[in-house]
Each structure stands twice: as structure tokens, then as C-alpha cells.
């Protein structure tokens, strides 16, 4: 990670997505061919051809579209670390741009699935204070997702530690260290006052 220098997911991401596609498509093709053979045996070859056309043609179109979309999606992803924030740009048709100030970052997690592990890739999820959004616009504490994700990057554990190292050097919410200390002292003082009031009432 270098400040001011854009970086991208690993090119292995495209192979990872092709693997996901094959895992989904091959069983569907096998199922379609199997049903076509059964129809040809018990009904007629014409009926089998009609079924194969109606079933396999849309599946082939979807497969070709996915193979076209995967490299486009890969090229759309950009990451950048500035002096003040983390920036993520992603999306082929609908562009999403996120800028997360270091001072608001509360947690940084890593995720690696079983197939991603084969390619040595992982994802770094960045969370901020109070952010509970999910894809689709619904929110709630049980549906929390990362405000920004650095997907399919190599050395993702090291990247997480580098982000945390930068975050540790920044005051919370951008406030000066003296201000955060003052807030802590005020909170402690108020808690003491609350405790005194509770003791006098009991």
C-alpha cells in the first residue's frame, strides 16, 4: 500500500470468477443434456431438440454474457489510499465510489472463501462507526455490511495491518487528541454524578 498510488485486484480474480461460473453452469448443462436424452428415448428426437433449444440456448447466452462481463468488472475496480481516506471505485454500468476517512474507521476484517484460498486471494472489509447499511438499502444491526471492501487482493492480511497502522495514528472522528481526552474526562465526570444521584436515592 502506497499513499497516492492506485492499485487493483489481482488478475487472478478473473480466473476465480470463471471458476464460480463453471461450477454453476456445468451441472446445468449436464442436467439439460440428460433430460434431452431421456426425452429423445421416451418421446421423439424432435421433442428432444425443441427442449434442448429452449433450455440450452438461454443458458449459452447467459454463459457468454458472464464471460464478457467478468473482465469488464475486473477493470472497473480501483483502490486508492490518500493522506486522509481510503477510496474505492467499482461497477461496470452503475459506478459506486466510496471515500472513508481514516478517522471514522472502527474495524477492519478479512474474508477468504475456500475457492479464493486456492488462488491466494481475499477481501478486506472496512467498517465505520454507526454504519449498518446493506445492499439494497435496508439497514439494521443484524444486517451490517462493510462500508467499503477491497475485494480479491493478494496479501490481504498485510493490507489489513497496514490500514490499521494508519488508523491507529489518527484521532477518532478527526478530533484532536486533546479534544478526545477532554470528552473522556467529561463522560467520566457525568458517570460519577449519576452514581452519586443513584446512591442518594437508594
Q: Which residues of 92-101 are buried (b: 16+ CB within 10 A; e: fewer)?
A: eeeeeeeebe
Asked whether residue 34 is assigned to any structural domain, the reply reads yes
Asked whether residue 20 is assigned to any structural domain, the reply reads yes
Residue 34's domain comprises 12-75
User: Residue-wise pLDDT tens for the chain (202 aa)?
Assistant: 678 788 999 999 999 999 999 999 999 999 989 988 988 888 888 888 888 888 889 999 999 999 999 999 999 999 999 888 899 999 888 888 988 888 888 889 999 999 999 999 999 999 987 655 554 344 444 445 678 899 999 989 999 998 888 887 666 555 554 555 565 677 777 777 787 777 776 6
Number of domains composing the chain: 1
Asked whether residue 23 is assigned to any structural domain, the reply reads yes
> Maximum Cα–Cα distance for the chain, whole Å?
91
Asked whether residue 122 is assigned to any structural domain, the reply reads no
Asked whether residue 7 is assigned to any structural domain, the reply reads no
Asked whether residue 153 is assigned to any structural domain, the reply reads no
Amino acid at each position: 500500500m502506497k499513499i497516492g498510488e492506485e492499485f487493483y485486484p489481482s488478475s487472478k480474480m478473473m480466473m476465480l470468477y470463471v471458476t464460480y461460473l463453471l461450477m454453476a453452469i456445468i451441472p446445468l448443462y449436464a442436467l439439460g443434456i440428460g433430460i434431452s436424452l431421456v426425452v429423445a428415448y421416451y418421446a421423439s428426437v424432435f421433442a428432444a431438440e425443441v427442449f434442448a433449444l429452449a433450455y440450452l440456448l438461454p443458458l449459452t447466452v447467459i454463459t457468454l454474457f458472464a464471460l464478457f462481463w467478468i473482465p469488464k468488472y475486473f477493470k472497473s475496480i480501483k483502490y486508492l489510499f490518500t493522506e486522509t481516506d481510503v477510496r474505492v471505485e467499482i461497477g461496470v454500468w452503475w459506478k459506486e465510489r466510496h471515500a472513508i476517512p481514516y478517522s471514522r474507521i472502527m474495524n477492519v476484517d478479512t474474508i477468504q472463501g475456500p475457492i479464493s484460498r486456492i488462488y491466494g486471494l481475499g477481501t478486506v472489509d472496512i467498517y465505520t462507526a454507526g454504519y449498518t447499511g446493506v445492499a439494497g438499502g435496508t439497514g439494521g444491526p443484524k444486517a451490517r455490511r462493510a462500508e467499503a471492501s477491497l475485494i480479491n487482493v493478494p496479501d490481504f492480511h498485510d493490507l489489513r495491518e497496514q490500514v490499521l497502522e494508519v488508523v491507529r495514528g489518527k484521532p477518532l472522528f478527526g478530533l484532536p487528541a486533546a479534544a478526545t481526552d477532554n470528552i473522556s474526562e467529561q463522560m467520566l465526570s457525568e458517570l460519577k454524578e449519576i452514581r452519586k444521584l443513584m446512591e442518594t436515592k437508594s
